[in-house]
Amino acid sequence: MDYGTGFDNHLAQPDLQIDTASSSPLRIAICPPEFQPLLQAMNGESTDATYLIQSYIAQGLLAHGHSLTFIAPRSLTEVVSTQVVSQPALAPRTWSGSAWFEFSSRAAWWLQRRLRVPYLNMFSNYRLLDACLQCLPGHDVVYERNSMYRFGVAMACKRLRLPYVLYFEADDILEHDVMGRPVTGLLRWRLSKALRFNLSVANCVICVSEPARQHLIAAWDASPQKIVVLPNAADVRRFQPASEIGQQIRAALGMDNNPIVMFVGSFYKWHDVATLITSFAQIVRVYPETRLVLIGDGEQRQDMMQLSASLDIGRAVRFTGSVPHAEIPRWLAAADIAVAPYPQMQHEMWLSPIKVFEYMASGKAVVASAVGQLNKVISDGQSGLLVPPGDATAMTAALRRLIENEGLRSQLGRYARDEAVRKYSWEHYLSRLERVCAAVVAHKLAPCDRSSAV
Q: What's the rounded Cα separation, in Å, for the pair 228 and 207?
A: 6
Helix (H) or strand (E) holding 193: helix 185-201
Query: What kind and span of H or E run contains 127?
Result: helix 122-135
- Could you please state the CATH topology (level 3) that the domain comprising 243-423 is classified under: Rossmann fold (3.40.50)
pLDDT at 444: 55
For residue 171, count CB atoms less than 10 angstroms from its CB and return exposed for 0-12, middle for 13-18, buried for 19 or more: buried
Which residues does 357 contact at the CB level (< 8 Å), separation at least 6? 231, 232, 233, 234, 377, 420, 424
In whole angstroms, give the CA distance from residue 454 to residue 449: 14
Task: State the span(s) of the chain assigned CATH 3.40.50.2000.
Answer: 9-233+426-443, 243-423
CATH topology (fold) of 9-233+426-443: Rossmann fold (3.40.50)
Residues whose CB falls within 8 Å of the CB of residue 146, separated by 6 or more in sequence, listed in order: 166, 167, 168, 169, 195, 198
Distances (CA, A) of 74 to 37, 79, 82, 171: 9, 6, 12, 23
Cβ contacts of 430 within 8 Å, gap of 6 or more: 20, 57, 60, 61, 64
Instruction: Note the pTM of the prediction, 2 decimals.
Output: 0.88
The pLDDT value recorded for residue 23 is 60
For the chain, the distance separating the N- and C-terminal CA atoms, rounded to the nearest angstrom, is: 38
Beta bridge partners of 365: 337
Which residue, 156, 189, 139, 233, is CA-closest to 423? Answer: 233
Q: What is the pLDDT of residue 289?
A: 96
Mean pLDDT of successive 10-residue stretches along the chain, which has 454 residues:
40 36 80 94 85 95 97 94 95 95 91 83 94 98 95 97 94 83 90 95 95 93 94 95 91 92 91 95 96 93 95 95 92 97 79 93 97 93 96 97 97 97 96 94 57 46
Amino acid in position 137: P
